[in-house]
Amino acid sequence: METRNWIGGEWSTPSAGEVVVRNPSAITETVGKLRLSSGAELLQAVEAARRVWRIWGKMTGAARGECLHRMAQLLERNSEEVAQLASREMGKPIAEMRGEVARGVQLLRYYAAEGVRANGDVIPSTQPNVMQYSKRVPLGVVAIVTPWNFPVAIPIWKLAPALVCGNTVVWKPAEFGSLTAAKLAELFSEAGLPPGTLNLIIGKGSVLGRTLTEEAAIDALSFTGSTATGLMIGAACAARNIKYQTEMGGKNAAVVLKDANVPIAVNAVLSGAFRSAGQKCTATSRIIVEDAIYDEFVQELATGALQLQVRNALDERAYLGPVASEEQFRIVTGYVEMAKTDGRTVVAVEAPEAEQGYYIGPRIIDGVDPGHALVQEEVFGPLAVILRAANVDEAIELANRTVFGLSASIFTTNLANSFRFLEEMDAGMVRVNQETAGVEYQAPFGGMKGSSSHTREQGQSALDFYSAVKTCSIQYR
């Protein structure tokens, strides 16, 4: 399979180089080839989106919603193929990948229905015979930049609300999600969107980034990815007064108090830390345990971790597969080496020897102080650190001691401590007796502090981002 761009309803082969994609579970296997675009091709995509936006924007919400319904049907019908391709492209275990594709279908259905929901308010006027109302209107051309770790759900939770609000879209997926992106675009090309409404441009962020943020005539940009890239994009958009949102990194804490149900906490911490090989922005990467149960909990956690199955992502039994790419492997291995010298490895699960892939077995580390890089930097791999807290006060203080604020969990059977955590944690997603990873599609998603531009995605919040509010008033006498 080779990627192509989809611009103005036409497929074309990008002209600025190519990259061979290898299966991270078995690197001798070639999955496909990425053809990479130049800045000029990106500008063509933006022009195509610009040409059609008034037409798409003026269609009824019901008609736009119908297109999204058809996209949902097409994705549902082809879900296994999409899940298999994404698993082979970026190494997410097939069972999880199927769940992600199903989430994509739910998101499309949810936003399809928004096409016929109220999109404004009637606001009583202080003057007689004046009708005053507000309504959401499209922004115009929206650029969507997505990461590789959720190659289906994240693009769809941006594309669907952007489209139903009446915007046209230029979508640049991450390099290691581009084959999946091309497959999605292929499916969506059958959904009856007017040519140019949705455009796909394959390429490297480092090559296309400047053209996108400094030259392209876009009206808004929605980005999910690393903090370093997000801050750069945010600054460039702010300089041009382009509406933007950036969802970025995390360093999410799970707090386990002495009255926790230990089996529930162990399962949720393992799942949060190690599914998808720890490559979720909401992954548990700090485990903060109250002193009174520290030894017991760590023992149970280590026992549980040793049972996790590290396997080829297409193996149904895989709890976690490899990390996604050679670059990820290099970065995460650097943190593993740091942990060996600076901390104490509580548990290190072996990676499968028979497989030739980017496998890193789960690791749990303690013995590092709260200011250490392993506690403060996003690792984005199957490595979590444990910290000891004297009591609930110290546990919450430690959990908040980070520049990030994406998600956080507490495990406790005490109602007062549950509510205290929900109130005092400076994070966008706060949960009790549930893992740090995960959110429902109809609920707002996003971070506080350094994790986000303070906007939200999903649910109703996405509609607020992808539209502008216009206040209309008519004197009718």
Question: Any idea which residues carry the catalytic annotation?
Answer: 247, 281
Least separation, in Å, of the C-beta of 319 and ligand NAD?
20
Beta-strand runs (E) in 259-415: 284-290, 344-348, 363-366, 383-389, 404-405, 407-411
Q: Identify the residue among 14, 151, 362, 447 touching ligand NAD (CB under 6 A).
A: 447
Q: Residue with CB nearest ligand NAD?
A: 205
Q: CA 412, 414, 419, 421 torsion: positive or negative?
A: negative
Beta bridge partners of 284: 252
What is the pattern of x (binds ligand NAD, CB under 6 A) and - over residues 402-431? Answer: ----x-------------------------
Query: What burial letters (b/e) apply to 132-158, b meaning 16+ CB within 10 Å?
Result: beeebbbbbbbbbbbbbbbbbbbbbbb
Determine, following the binding rule CB under 6 A, whether residue 380 of this chain makes contact with ligand NAD: yes
* Angstrom distances, CA of residue 433 to CA of 39, 298, 301, 317, 328: 47, 17, 16, 25, 30
Least separation, in Å, of the C-beta of 156 and ligand NAD?
13
Nearest to 97 by CA among 248, 383, 378, 320: 320
Please report, as residue ranges, which positions from 309 to 348 form the binding site for ligand NAD (by CB under 6 A). Answer: none
What is the pattern of x (binds ligand NAD, CB under 6 A) and - over residues 68-107? Answer: ----------------------------------------
Beta bridge partners of 279: none
- CA 13, CA 293: separation in Å to the nearest integer? 59
What is the pattern of x (binds ligand NAD, CB under 6 A) and - over residues 171-190? Answer: -xxxx---------------
Q: Identify the residue among 59, 116, 231, 232 touching ligand NAD (CB under 6 A).
A: 232
- CA 258, CA 471: separation in Å to the nearest integer? 53
Least separation, in Å, of the C-beta of 281 and ligand NAD?
3
Determine, following the binding rule CB under 6 A, whether residue 352 of this chain makes contact with ligand NAD: no
Tokens of 54: 């008034």
Nearest to 38 by CA among 214, 221, 211, 176: 211
Of 38-46, 243-251, 253-261, 269-277, the window that binds ligand NAD (rule: CB under 6 A) is 243-251
Q: Return the SS3 of 275.
A: helix
Q: Based on CB atoms, which residue is closest to ligand NAD, 70 or 172?
A: 172
Q: Based on CB atoms, which residue is closest to ligand NAD, 25 or 451?
A: 451
Determine, following the binding rule CB under 6 A, whether residue 149 of this chain makes contact with ligand NAD: yes
Q: Based on CB atoms, which residue is closest to ligand NAD, 175 or 435?
A: 175
Least separation, in Å, of the C-beta of 174 and ligand NAD?
4
**Side chain identity, residue 142:** V
- CA 317, CA 294: separation in Å to the nearest integer? 30
Q: Based on CB atoms, which residue is closest to ligand NAD, 134 or 227?
A: 227
> Counting every residue, how long is the chain?
477
Is residue 451 within 8 Å of residue 248, measured between CB atoms?
yes
Least separation, in Å, of the C-beta of 148 and ligand NAD?
5
Residues 6+ positions from 151 with CB-CB distance below 8 Å:
86, 89, 90, 173, 174, 176, 177, 180, 181
Q: Based on CB atoms, which residue is closest to ligand NAD, 199 or 451?
A: 451
Q: Identify the residue among 160, 164, 281, 439 touching ligand NAD (CB under 6 A).
A: 281
- CA 348, CA 339: separation in Å to the nearest integer? 11
Least separation, in Å, of the C-beta of 254 and ligand NAD?
16
Q: Identify the residue among 126, 127, 129, 206 touching ligand NAD (CB under 6 A).
A: 206
Determine, following the binding rule CB under 6 A, whether residue 382 of this chain makes contact with ligand NAD: no
Q: Identify the residue among 65, 104, 138, 147 touching ligand NAD (CB under 6 A).
A: 147
Count CA atoms within 13 Å of residue 423 on its CB side: 6
Q: Based on CB atoms, which residue is closest to ligand NAD, 204 or 258?
A: 204
Least separation, in Å, of the C-beta of 446 and ligand NAD?
7
Nearest to 87 by CA among 156, 172, 26, 157: 26
Q: Identify the residue among 8, 32, 205, 234 touching ligand NAD (CB under 6 A).
A: 205
What is the pattern of x (binds ligand NAD, CB under 6 A) and - over residues 244-273? Answer: ---xxxx-----------------------
Residue whose structure tokens are 């970025």: 248
Beta-strand runs (E) in 381-466: 383-389, 404-405, 407-411, 429-432, 448-449
Q: Identify the residue among 225, 234, 352, 382 touching ligand NAD (CB under 6 A).
A: 225
Determine, following the binding rule CB under 6 A, whether residue 224 of this chain makes contact with ligand NAD: yes
Q: Identify the residue among 38, 226, 414, 433 touching ligand NAD (CB under 6 A).
A: 226
Residues 6+ positions from 170 with CB-CB distance below 8 Å:
42, 45, 46, 49, 141, 142, 143, 144, 199, 201, 216, 218
For the chain, what is the largest distance between any 2 Cα atoms, rounded to a whole number of angstroms? 82
Using CB under 6 A, count the residues that bind ligand NAD: 31
- Residues that bind ligand NAD in the complex, under the rule CB under 6 A: 145-150, 172-175, 204-206, 209, 212, 224-226, 229, 232-233, 247-250, 281, 378, 380, 406, 447, 451
